């Protein structure tokens, strides 16, 4: 994610961009999920209502692992009415008498598990499903949920709005750290990645863009169904849909489809020109980070007062039109495309490691700027190192607190951490570290501890002192030097 209005070199984060609270929170110790050991008992017990993330304990659910979602929704902007059927293919990781899905708002009309009607109940943003028979640990199951209603965005006290928004010509659903549960039932935590098929039905004439490869559209009786398939595992917050009037560009690059869309509410110009550089930027980043991880490319530009950020939605980032009002902006494209490696292909296992996403995406902006003829990476580092505010040094990016998830420290100090690593181990080892990380963990997850261990293994250096100072210290670390 990149907030519009985030300072690049000096000045303060515009805290109003997402209603960010300017406080830090002391994280509670992670609540562990109470998963019964399959060997200890044949008993069926309810799955946990959350995955126990240190910052967002109720996100996701325990007791199962989703492999695939098939999300079919029909949305009419004229009435703001959504009807949907979502199929969830999962494997039980505990023997379950019941399990939860995350679903915010909307009315559930029916649930089946393996084709048999199941009981269902709501508890806030939790949908509790009780199948007629228990689900045995290790076995696969399929849940189908029918639902409808008028979708609403989610408001996170610290981070502002995310999720499904009704726009002037349609709708757009995206957001971090959560958004998917506003339009389909989901295990809403990046620890549980899955493949997705989307079928979005909208009034004929409107475009419905989502993640992955476009796999066709059909029109019947005034409604058009747009089909999309994301075949690489995806974290739920990286899902998106944008419905409205768009200037669509289709192409092919390296055998993969390119599908981009810019809202027609914006005159043709800087946004179109910036998005058109997507494959050029992706090719540059491929040279740095290794093979592009997904089966399609693209970008979507929306113009809605509620969306004041760009987000790395998988294979097809969404950008606020604000980024292009003052002219072309390939830096934000580099940021969101870098996330395709750092965040999307290699995903967080817990939200407190957010610097692994934002530090690398910000660093990629520095790399792209140098490549594109702007200031050098070293100049970007020096500008930040000298110009950073006292609060940046007080806020450890490796443990920012939930309210500072998208704060300055995570981005700027996160990128400085990446550069400190590069300076310390040298270019040859550094690029082996980042390419190895992207390759080894492709389509998976990783933690900060995993990354530090990987960097030490590849470089043959002991780096805990470096990472401790840059990620967890509360004062300005020494300027890094080659060792
Ligand atoms: Zn970002």
Distance 155 CA to ligand 1 centre (A): 20
Distance 211 CA to ligand 1 centre (A): 17
**Residue linked to tokens 């930040």:** 384
Distance 442 CA to ligand 1 centre (A): 18
Distance 406 CA to ligand 1 centre (A): 8
Distance 403 CA to ligand 1 centre (A): 16
Do 3 and 309 touch, CB atoms closer than 8 A?
yes
Helix crossing, 355-371 with 377-387: angle to 10°? 130
The pLDDT value recorded for residue 42 is 66
Distance 36 CA to ligand 1 centre (A): 37
Q: Which ranges in 30-154 belong to alpha helices (H)?
A: none
Q: What is the pLDDT of residues 29-69, one digit of tens each?
A: 444 444 544 444 569 999 999 999 999 999 999 999 999 99
Distance 165 CA to ligand 1 centre (A): 21
Distance 269 CA to ligand 1 centre (A): 24
Distance 215 CA to ligand 1 centre (A): 28
**Residue linked to tokens 């993640």:** 211
Task: List residues, by chain if needed, whose CB lies under 5 Å from ion ligand 1.
Answer: 1-2, 358, 361
Beta-strand relationship, 223-234 and 107-113: unpaired
Distance 337 CA to ligand 1 centre (A): 9
SS3 201: strand
SS (H, E, C) 316-363: CCEEEHHHHCCCCCHHHHHHHHHHHHECCCEEECCHHHCHHHHHHHHH
**Can you list the residues of the chain whose pLDDT is less than 70?**
6-42, 157-160
Distance 341 CA to ligand 1 centre (A): 12
Distance 102 CA to ligand 1 centre (A): 24
Per-position DSSP letters for 244-294, written without gaps between them: E-EEEEEEEETTEEEEEEEETTS-SSHHHHHHTTHHHHHHHHHHHH-S--S
Distance 187 CA to ligand 1 centre (A): 22
Distance 310 CA to ligand 1 centre (A): 8
- Alpha-carbon distances of 64 from 88, 99, 138, 337, 438, rounded to whole Å: 11, 8, 9, 31, 26
Q: What is the pLDDT of residues 325-340, one digit of tens each?
A: 999 999 999 999 999 9
- Cα–Cα dist 98/133, whole Å: 9
Integer distance in angstroms from the first to the last C-alpha of the chain? 33
Distance 109 CA to ligand 1 centre (A): 37
Distance 54 CA to ligand 1 centre (A): 21
The pLDDT value recorded for residue 10 is 31
Distance 138 CA to ligand 1 centre (A): 36
Distance 334 CA to ligand 1 centre (A): 10
The pLDDT value recorded for residue 159 is 66
Distance 96 CA to ligand 1 centre (A): 37
Distance 232 CA to ligand 1 centre (A): 20
Both tokens of 180, joined, read: 């998917």
Distance 56 CA to ligand 1 centre (A): 19
Distance 343 CA to ligand 1 centre (A): 9
Residue 237 DSSP code: G
């Amino acid at each position: 994610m990149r907030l519009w209005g985030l300072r690049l070199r000096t000045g303060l984060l515009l805290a109003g961009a997402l209603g960010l609270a300017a406080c830090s929170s002391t994280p509670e110790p992670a609540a562990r999920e109470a998963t019964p050991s399959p060997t200890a008992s044949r008993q069926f017990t309810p799955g946990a209502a959350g995955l126990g993330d240190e910052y967002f304990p109720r996100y996701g659910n325990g007791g199962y692992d989703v492999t695939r979602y098939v999300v079919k929704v029909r949305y009419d902007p004229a009435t703001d009415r959504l009807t949907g059927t979502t199929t969830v293919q999962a494997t039980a990781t505990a023997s379950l008498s019941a399990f939860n899905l995350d679903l915010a708002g909307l009315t559930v009309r029916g649930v089946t598990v393996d084709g048999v009607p199941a009981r269902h109940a709501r508890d806030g943003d939790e949908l509790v499903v009780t199948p007629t028979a228990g689900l045995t640990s290790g076995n696969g199951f399929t849940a189908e949920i029918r639902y409808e209603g008028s979708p609403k965005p989610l408001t996170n006290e610290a981070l502002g709005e995310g999720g499904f928004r009704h726009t002037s010509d349609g709708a757009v659903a995206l957001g971090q750290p959560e958004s998917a549960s506003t339009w389909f039932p989901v295990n809403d935590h990046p620890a549980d990645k899955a493949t997705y098929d989307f079928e979005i039905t909208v009034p004929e004439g409107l475009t419905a863009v989502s993640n992955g490869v476009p796999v066709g559209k059909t029109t019947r009786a005034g409604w058009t169904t747009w089909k999309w398939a994301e075949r690489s595992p995806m974290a739920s917050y990286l899902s998106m849909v944008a419905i409205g009037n768009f200037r669509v560009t289709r192409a092919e690059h390296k055998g993969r489809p390119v599908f981009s869309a810019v809202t027609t509410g914006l005159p043709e110009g800087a946004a179109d020109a910036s998005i058109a550089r997507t494959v050029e930027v992706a090719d540059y980043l491929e040279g740095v980070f290794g093979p592009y991880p997904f089966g399609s490319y693209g970008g979507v530009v929306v113009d809605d007062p509620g969306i004041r950020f760009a987000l790395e939605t998988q294979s097809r980032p969404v950008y606020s039109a604000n980024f292009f009002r003052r002219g072309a902006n390939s830096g934000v494209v580099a940021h969101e495309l870098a996330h395709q490696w750092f965040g999307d292909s290699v995903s967080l296992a817990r939200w407190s490691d957010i610097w692994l996403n934002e530090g690398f995406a910000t660093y990629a902006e520095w790399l792209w700027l140098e490549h594109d003829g702007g200031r050098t990476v070293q100049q970007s580092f020096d500008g930040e190192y000298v110009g950073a505010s006292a609060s940046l040094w007080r806020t450890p990016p490796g443990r920012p607190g939930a309210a500072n998830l998208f704060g300055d420290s995570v981005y700027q100090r996160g990128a400085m951490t990446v550069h400190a690593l590069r300076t310390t181990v040298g270019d040859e080892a550094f690029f082996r570290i980042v390419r190895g990380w992207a390759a080894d963990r492709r389509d998976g997850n990783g933690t900060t501890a995993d990354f530090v261990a990987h960097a030490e293994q590849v470089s043959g250096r002991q780096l805990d002192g470096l990472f401790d100072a840059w990620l967890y210290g509360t004062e300005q670390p020494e300027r890094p030097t080659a060792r």
